[in-house]
Amino acid sequence: MRNIVKLPAIALLVAAVTGCAVGPDYQAPQSVTNINVSAPYQQAEQVQNWWQAFDDATLNQLITEALAQNRTLAQARYNAERAYAVFSDASNDWLPKGTLDAGYQASKNPSVSNLDDAVVSRGYNSGANLSWDLDLFGKIRRATEAAEANAQQAELLWQDARLQLISQVASTYGDYRGAQMRLVVAEQNLHNLQQSRDIVEARLEAGMASELELSQIDVQLHQVKAAVPVYRTALLTAGATLSALLAQQPGELKLGALPHLPELKQPVALVEGENYLRYRADVAVAERTLAASTAQIGVATADLYPNLSVRGVLGFISGPGLTLNGDTQSWSVAPTLSWQAADLGSVKARIRQAEAGNHIALAQFEQQVLNALNDMQLALNSYNLSREQQLSTEAQWQAANKVLQIARDRYNAGSGDFLSLLDAERELLRARDQLALVQQQSFIRLVGIYRSFGGGIQLI
């Protein structure tokens, strides 16, 4: 009866002792150089569909296929699954473990005694082998905390990989359409130059122009023709990149020949007072790394104290008849107390190593916050400046087109000089190509805003 009374007391004592966990308890940073970082990570609602605001069916199809087929994204997904499996395994370490075993043994002359000469012995054993690490000072608990933080980090990396993939597909799509646009512009410029050349050639036959004028316009023609392979190379490069992102073989990608860059029907806007850092998965990854490194300090510190484990066997041992009853029942209990008392110097060195790793993780988190803020601000400023440049370039192209029409009419009527026509042709070529390039850059920088803000930007 006394033993029965003692059991609950022992259980309560073990529970109380194992409730302790050495090492610091993790507290997430609240600020970094007066920057509020207390808002926990939250995936933006539109992060999975922000590109649909462009209303481009081809872009929608490309991103949908990339999310389903991209191999790098699949690696990130399975890495998250693996990390959660590691966490699941670690979270069970505080529970008793056991195996069910059954065995058979036969031997002849089992000893050197003469009495055992020619003796053959046979026996069976079966039962459960149990083990339990009591985790008196929380080593297993801290290791579980670290494994959980690492699993959460892997999931965040997967989510960030999705955002990066979407952004890369959209940006590369912009490169593809931009190269198409510049190629079309070059072909249109060739057509316009050919018209001007026809005028010069007709005037040459009428004795009103010189061979020098014809040669000068031929220089521009060949210059534009030389740029065409450059645009075609850019088109092939973007196509190859898209094929790789979609896990397609060369030649499978079909995008159509219409050169058009997606545009938003509404401008993007920031919400006053919104903490956009909470949408940044890379900041959340750095925070989870910090949490894991904090838990590792507890793992190392627990080695300063003894570790208590219990091993036991409960089963049956019988002879050839395989009799399982009370007479063949067998059990054993073996508590073990271990302590690295002779190696405390190494234990303390591992604690210092864990603490240094924690300081590194904190510095990395703080730097990641600063990097994220600067990245977001740079994305906004770059897009705004790109829009200003695009508006100015559009006005420049319209003015250059008007100048060319006037110069061509005057030259054809004999009231204008050839150099004015040549300069007008050159300026129009430059303005049209520059406009196509700036439109491409504006689209890519708009995609960069969505990427930098974790998809958390709203349309107004």
The rounded distance, in Å, linking the Cα atoms of 267 and 271 is: 13
pLDDT of residue 265: 72
Q: Decide if 122 contacts 89 (C-beta within 8 A).
A: no
pLDDT of residue 321: 63
The rounded distance, in Å, linking the Cα atoms of 406 and 418 is: 12
Residue with tokens 């050197």: 112
223's CB contacts (< 8 A; 6+ apart) are none
34's CB contacts (< 8 A; 6+ apart) are none
The rounded distance, in Å, linking the Cα atoms of 310 and 421 is: 96
> Helix/strand/coil (H, E, C) string of 419-441?
HHHHHHHHHHHHHHHHHHHHHHH
Q: Decide if 242 contacts 172 (C-beta within 8 A).
A: yes
Long-range contacts at 108-117 (CB < 8 A, ≥ 24 apart): none
110: closest CA among 124, 100, 122, 127? Answer: 122
Kindly give the parts of the chain with pLDDT less than 70: 1-19, 108-120, 257, 319-327, 459-460
Q: Decide if 200 contacts 277 (C-beta within 8 A).
A: no
Count the neighbouring beta carbons within 10 Å of the beta carbon of residue 279: 25
300: closest CA among 338, 349, 336? Answer: 349
Residues 192-247 pLDDT 10s: 788 878 888 887 888 877 888 888 888 888 888 898 999 999 999 999 999 999 99
Domain ranges of the chain: 24-95+138-304+343-459
CA-to-CA separations, 228 to 181, 224, 235, 429, in angstroms, rounded: 12, 7, 11, 13
DSSP at 228: H
pLDDT of residue 9: 47
| pTM for the whole structure | 0.82
pLDDT of residue 12: 46
The rounded distance, in Å, linking the Cα atoms of 333 and 311 is: 6
Domain 24-95+138-304+343-459: CATH superfamily, name plus number: Outer membrane efflux proteins (OEP) (1.20.1600.10)
By CB neighbour count within 10 A (0-12 exposed, 13-18 middle, 19+ buried), where does 383 fall?
A: buried
Helix, strand, coil proportions of the chain in percent (round to 5)?
65, 10, 25
> Helix/strand/coil (H, E, C) string of 144-193?
HHHHHHHHHHHHHHHHHHHHHHHHHHHHHHHHHHHHHHHHHHHHHHHHHH
Residue with tokens 């410029």: 189
Q: Decide if 313 contacts 127 (C-beta within 8 A).
A: yes
271: closest CA among 51, 49, 460? Answer: 460
